Structure 1
Amino acid sequence: MKKLIAIFVALSVVTVLTAASCGGSGGGGAGAGTGAHMGETSFLQPSVTISKGSSLNLIDDVPVLHVIGNGSWVNSVVKPARESGAPVVNNLQFNAAGQSMAVGPFNTAGTFHLYCSVHLNMNLTVIVQ
């Protein structure tokens, strides 16, 4: 039993370190993923910059429901919208800490918007260069 607990702890540490290394606003090379973390009611960073051709890894850091889509909250009103060239993001659901899903690739340079339909003013701006 102690061996099983030790394995579980080791895997947990690896998972946390991997999730932490995905954060940040820098872009990777073509096809590389960049992370955007979600807290209880907001993205932990309001924007992320990635390279053209990259995917964005959305990571739920808390066991709270998030439903992500194209668009944004504007003046406390949700505005679903998909910018030209944006990958389709339609009701991507998260509900567990550590859960992650990739969005993309973003093959067009520009500024794109994602939002959580559950949490007022939970917006993420994705800048693709």
Structure 2
Amino acid sequence: MFRQTIILILCSLVLLSMVACSSNGAASDAPNTVHMSDTQFALPSITIKKGESINLTSDTFTPHTIANGTWDGETAKPATEPGAPRVENIQIGGNSSTSIGPFNTAGTFKLYCTIHSGMKLEVIVK
């Protein structure tokens, strides 16, 4: 019985240290991270340098499908923009992330979630 109690205490301490050392804050984010809720990007736009990529992170269990283009009201407007990386229906499952890029051309590029009306992001590359 004493041995089982010691093992239980040790396991609890290991679990507690793992939880205490993990972080949900921005410090653990990859560079150029844009968070996504159920139906929106946390930021309407992000500015990055030429040659960089963006990291899209879903903070919920809602899946997203990302593509080049935007929303015009309730109407999806797929687009192919010269100089933009090709983004064709990239699936981002709930509570996961993916990198898009690199963006090698200066300009303003648009991405949107094909599933969620109005969910759009502007990527400004300098």
TM bucket (normalised to shorter chain) is 0.7 to 0.9
For these two proteins, the number of residue pairs brought into alignment is: 116
* Mapped partners of 2:15, 2:94: distance in 1: 21
Partner of 1:106: 103
* Mapped partners of 2:20, 2:92: distance in 1: 24
Which structure has the greater CA radius of gyration?
2
Partner of 1:27: none
CA deviations 1:71-104 (Å, max 9, x no partner) are: 111121111112100001111112222x111110
CA deviations 1:20-77 (Å, max 9, x no partner) are: 2377xxxxxxxx9411110110001100110111111111111111111111111211
* Mapped partners of 1:93, 1:22: distance in 2: 22
Structure 2 runs not aligned, ≥5 long: 1-10
Trace 1:83-102 onto structure 2 (pairs within 5 A): 83-97=81-95, 99-102=96-99
Residues 110, 46 of structure 1: alpha-carbon distance in 2 compared, 3 angstrom cutoff = same
Give the CA deviation at 1:11: 4.9
Sequence identity of aligned pairs in percent?
Answer: 46
Structure 1 runs not aligned, ≥5 long: 24-31
Residues 87, 11 of structure 1: alpha-carbon distance in 2 compared, 3 angstrom cutoff = farther
CA deviations 1:95-119 (Å, max 9, x no partner) are: 222x111110100000000000110
* Mapped partners of 1:7, 1:86: distance in 2: 43
Tell me the TM-score normalised to structure 2 length: 0.83
**Amino acid of the residue matched to residue 21 of structure 1?**
A
Trace 1:32-111 onto structure 2 (pairs within 5 A): 33-97=31-95, 99-111=96-108
* Mapped partners of 2:104, 2:12: distance in 1: 48
Give the CA deviation at 1:8: 3.4
